[in-house]
Each structure stands twice: as structure tokens, then as C-alpha cells.
Amino acid sequence: MINNPNRPLRVFLCHASNDKPIARALYKRLIANGIDVWFDEEKLLPGQYWRDEIPRAVLDSDAVVICLSKNSVSKEGYLQKEIKAALDAADEKPENTIYLIPVKLEECEVPYRLRSWQWVNLFFDGNNFDESSYSKLLRSLETRAKAVGAAVSVAVQNTSVNEIKKPDENKTLNEDLSLNMKQAILQPEMKEPTPKIYEHNKRLTQNREKEVNLISQKPQNIVSKNIATKPTGQFSPQNKTSDKVEDKRDSKPTTLKVLDIVSVLLLAVSTYLALIYAPEEATMGQVQRVFYFHIATAWVGMLGFLAAAVAGIVYLRTQNPKWDIIEVAAVEISLVFFFITIVLGSIWARPVWNTWWTWDPRLTTAAITELIYIAYFMLREGIEDPDRRARFGAVYALVGSLSVPITFFSIRLFRTIHPVVIGSADPSATGTFDMTGGMQVAFFFALFAFTVIFIDLFWNRIRMGNLAAKVEQLKLKVMR
């Protein structure tokens, strides 16, 4: 594509043959605005091989306008192929590029693959389009034109629309050709690479689509900053605040961003409380300060461990891949936090117990938990099929979560030297102490801070898992 500043914007008009009259009217309006519209009955020359021509035209266009009506949505036919070609081309555009513009010609259901793009309601009353909607479409095209360096004359030359002839009179050879051929030559296509992976991703997509629909109903998520909105009162709710056709589903939610910042602040405050604010312990001295984070990280590790087991059970019951993503997130976080707990514990144990490590029930249980988690990831590594990977992961998380408490009890049948600070204290434990006021503040604050940090990490990790699943899906699309 050559960026000639004076070239007109190239738009591909994608429509069902039954909507030809309306499409023709739209074509004329767009032409009047100086847009180079690829409209099959005008651009296809007799004898041209249209099956080659149309995908090329889609690729050559700066934008694709997809006319949606009851006809086009439900109809099987070449239109669906055009939409697919347009979707594939849209995947290669940078995010937030206006490229696909679904246009509803009448009230109809938007195909789910197109729902991520903001549509415009351009209802046709037989003679005229709804003017305000049309100007919205035009503004979108204008934005696109600026982006690719093409020209659009916004000056509305409202001439040609009323002069549309009845469709029957206007039937050219070309249209006959396209109509007949389109219906005749259609063949089923789509070879899916691995049906299972495809199925899995399809389920994921469906989940995401549900979320996207929720988002798109919230106007504030699709407010465009670039283009001022003019209240007209005639729009459907979806279009009230958005002119810019935009896909925001992958951007980070504001709540999460706030939570990120809060987590960092809480960690800082908690560090201050643990290292400076809390009074020094009488017998153990400074090293006792490790305790605040030691317990807090162990608590988070337990939370993650529980979350993983619950997610595993829910996954097995529902077979919903969302729960698999949650499970992996929980296991990963738990793995790291248990490791931190063990390291902090060792630092404390060296001066107090006079050893880095001892085979105390809690230490052993923590170590075994780590080993189970590592085995969990090795198990997942070895399985290609995502459904089976998720199933086996869930089963192993469940088996592990049952085994760990029994491990703990079994080792506890030996005598323990690990101090029990909360709850009943065992007199034989080494390193027990009573918490005073300042210590309690630091302790409970650390618990709270790490819980928030856990939620934040958990959320971020789940989001990452969803994005990874999406990338996987796009890869498959390319392979197809």
C-alpha cells in the first residue's frame, strides 16, 4: 500500500447479496464523500475470477465495512468467507486500529466473532440512512484515513441516495454472475489443526466473549478520547458514548492497577512495621523480626494451596478451562511463597535452633509441598493436549492437597521443636515467645498486607493466563 496523501481511502463493502439495494445506497453515499469503495457490482469486471479478486480487495482496503442484517447474519455463503478474510486481516493490524466496522442495517444479532468491534446502527428507511449514524460511520472512516494518510471529504454531498433505482431494474450481468456463482461454488472449508485444542480454545473464547459483552455494555469502557461525542438521542445504548471502534478487552483493569500500587505500599509499610516499629524480642534479638514475614508468606502459601485444590475440584466438575488457569495461578504463587517461607525460616533457625534445617513436621511438610508443586508442573509439561493437561493437573492438585495434611499429622507424631506462637504452645518447642502490642500490630498488618499482595498477584497471574490462552488461540488461527 502506498501512502499517497491525496489518494482516497479504500473501503471494502462487505454485504449479503440480499442486501444489495441498501448496500448500493451506502456505496453511493460513501462515493459521494470521496471514498474509494470496493463494491462488487462496480468493481468486478465481467470475466474476472471473483474468488481471487475478493480476498485481494479485502487485503488492499484500508477499512472493511461489514453490513449486518438478518439476511447476512444467518446466511451461509461467500459473505462468511469475506468476513473471515477481514477478521484475519484485522488480526495483523495494531491494536486500536479502526479496520473492521460492523454496520447493522436492521436490528439483528451480531455474529459472535464480530462482537469485539464496536458496531454502528445504520438503519435504512427505504430512502435515507439515519443521518447521525451515517456521520458516525464517516468519522470512523476519517480517523482511519488520517492514520493511513488518505483523504476523505467530509462535506456531505447528499445527492445520490434518493436516486436509487429499484433492484430489479438495476440487475447487471455482473450481479447475476456474483449471485449465482457465489451460491454455486461454495464449498465447506476450514480444516482444524487439532480438533481438541480447537475445542478447548473455543470454550475459552466463549467465556471471554461473555465477559466482553459485559464490558461493552458499560459505556465508560469504550469512551473514545480522540473524538468528541455529540448527543443525538437516536443511538442505541451501545453507541451512545463511543464513536471510535475500539477493542479494550485486553487492557489492564483500573482496579487491578490500583491494587498493584496498594500492594507495593502495603509491603513498604509492613516492612517498616516489622523492621523498625515492632519492639526487639528479648532473647532472640533482631532475628526474631523475620517472624512477621515468615508467617505471612506461609499463610499466603496455604491460601494458594487451598485455592488450587478448590479450583481443581471445580475444574473436574465443570470442565471449564477458566478454572484451570486459576489453578495454575494459585499453584505458582504458592510455590514461590512457600519457598520464601522456607528461606526466611532457615535464616531464623540458624541462630535460634543452631541449624539451617531440621526435619521438623512443618519444615518437612513445607518441603514436600514444594516437591508436589514441582511434580505438578513437570506433569503439566509432559502433556500436549490442553484438556488432558488441565484434567491431570486438577487430579494431581487434589491428590496432593489430601496428602499434605496427612503428611503433616504423620510427622507431627514425632515430637516437634517448631514454636507454636498462635494457639496452644508446646513447652518443648524452642524459640517460643509472647507477642506484645507492637509486635501484634506488625504481625497482623503483615498478614493483611500479604493477603492483599496475594490477591493482587493472583489476579495478575489469572489475567496473564487468559492472555496466554488468547495468544495460543491466535497462533492456531494463523496455522489455519
Partner 1 sequence: MDSRPLTVSSTTVRRPSSTVGFVRAVGAVAWKDLTAEYRSRELFSSMLVFSLLVILIFNFALELDIKTRQSVTSGVLWVTFAFAGTLGLNRSMAVEKDRGCLDGLLLAPVDRAAIYFGKVISNLAFMLIVEIVILPVYSFLYSVNLFNPGLLMVILLGSIGYIAVGTLLASMAVQTRTRDVLLPILLFPVAIPVLIAAVKASGGYLNGDEFSMILPWINLLIVYDIIFVAIAFMVFDYVVEE
Q: Which of 35, 89, 97 lies closest to 226 in space, CA to CA?
A: 97
- Joined grid coordinates for residue 81: 468467507
Distance CA 326, CA 307 (A): 8
CB 426 to partner 1: min, Å? 17
Name which of 176 and 384 has its Cβ closer to partner 1. Answer: 384
Q: Which of 419, 144, 408 lies closest to 291 in space, CA to CA?
A: 419
Name which of 408 and 433 has its Cβ closer to partner 1. Answer: 408
Q: x/- contact string, 306-325, with partner 1 (CB under 8 A)?
A: ----------x---------
Q: x/- contact string, 37-76, with partner 1 (CB under 8 A)?
A: ----------------------------------------
Residue 371 as a binder of partner 1 (CB under 8 A): the answer is yes
1, 343, 375, 474: which one contacts partner 1 (CB under 8 A)?
A: 375
Number of residues counted as binding partner 1 (CB under 8 A): 29
Q: Which of 257, 266, 275 lies closest to 451 in space, CA to CA?
A: 266
94, 237, 382, 427: which one contacts partner 1 (CB under 8 A)?
A: 382
Name which of 232 and 319 has its Cβ closer to partner 1. Answer: 319
DSSP element (H, E) containing 104: strand 100-104
CB 445 to partner 1: min, Å? 34
Exposure string of 318-353, with b = 16+ CB inside 10 Å and e = fewer, is eebbbbbbbbbbbbbbbbbbbbbbbebbbebbeebb
Distance of CA 441 to the CA centre of its chain: 39
Residues numbered 391 to 430 that lie near partner 1 (CB under 8 A) are: 391-392, 394-396, 398-400, 402-403, 406-407, 409-411, 413
Q: Do 469 and 325 touch, CB atoms closer than 8 A?
A: yes
CB 211 to partner 1: min, Å? 27
State the DSSP string of 25-78: HHHHHHHHTT-EEE-HHHHPPTT--HHHHHHHHHHH-SEEEEEE-HHHHH--SH
Q: Which of 27-35, 69-77, 207-215, 383-391 is the region at the interface with partner 1 (rule: CB under 8 A)?
A: 383-391
Bridge partners, residue 63, by sequence: 11
Name which of 340 and 368 has its Cβ closer to partner 1. Answer: 368
The dihedral built from the CA positions of residue 420, 425, 431 and 434, taken in this order, carries a sign that is positive
State the DSSP string of 242-300: --S----TTSPPHHHHHHHHHHHHHHHHHHHIIIIISPPBTTTBGGGGHHHHHHHHHHH
Name which of 312 and 431 has its Cβ closer to partner 1. Answer: 312
275, 310, 368, 447: which one contacts partner 1 (CB under 8 A)?
A: 368
- Joined grid coordinates for residue 205: 473464547
Name which of 371 and 471 has its Cβ closer to partner 1. Answer: 371
Name which of 30 and 330 has its Cβ closer to partner 1. Answer: 330
CB 203 to partner 1: min, Å? 16
Applying CB under 8 A, which residues contact partner 1?
316, 368, 371-372, 374-375, 378-379, 381-384, 388, 391-392, 394-396, 398-400, 402-403, 406-407, 409-411, 413
